[in-house]
Amino acid sequence: MRPTIDEYFMELATVVAKRSTCLRNQVGAVVVKDKRILSTGYNGAPRNLPHCLEIGCIRQQNNIASGTRHELCRAVHAEQNAIIQAAIHGVSIEGATIYCTHQPCILCAKMLINADIKKVVFGTTYPDTEALKFFDKAGVVVEQLALKTES
């Protein structure tokens, strides 16, 4: 069966997530406007630094709960990397939609709001309700769309 446009781009976000080097959550993001992909991102260590796959996860080692102490993570989040890639390549994401395998955290929410993202479609919830409150106050449309699992 032919997927809806939201299902299509969400499926692409799940493919992007496969490049993630995070040991806890493999997250992918795809920024889209007018049914065109503008940028993608996945979570992993900053450029030229060792990945958690190679040296382990500081958050796991210190039993840091998901959704807390974001600053104690080596990874750049997928949404952040999608914004960075657009900036590096001179692509405006103003007014776009972002498809994320996971609900954005508060840090990513603030960045997406300032990048003028108009809609966020995510798959898996994240234990950070403040992000959803920020999106609501900023007038960003947020929708949850179940991720398709591979058979």
Name the residues annotated as catalytic. Answer: 79
Separation between Cα atoms, residue 120 and residue 109, nearest integer Å: 9
CA angle, residues 148, 134, 3, in degrees to nearest 5 = 20
Pairing of strands 97-102, 36-42: unpaired
CA angle, residues 114, 81, 133, in degrees to nearest 5 = 40
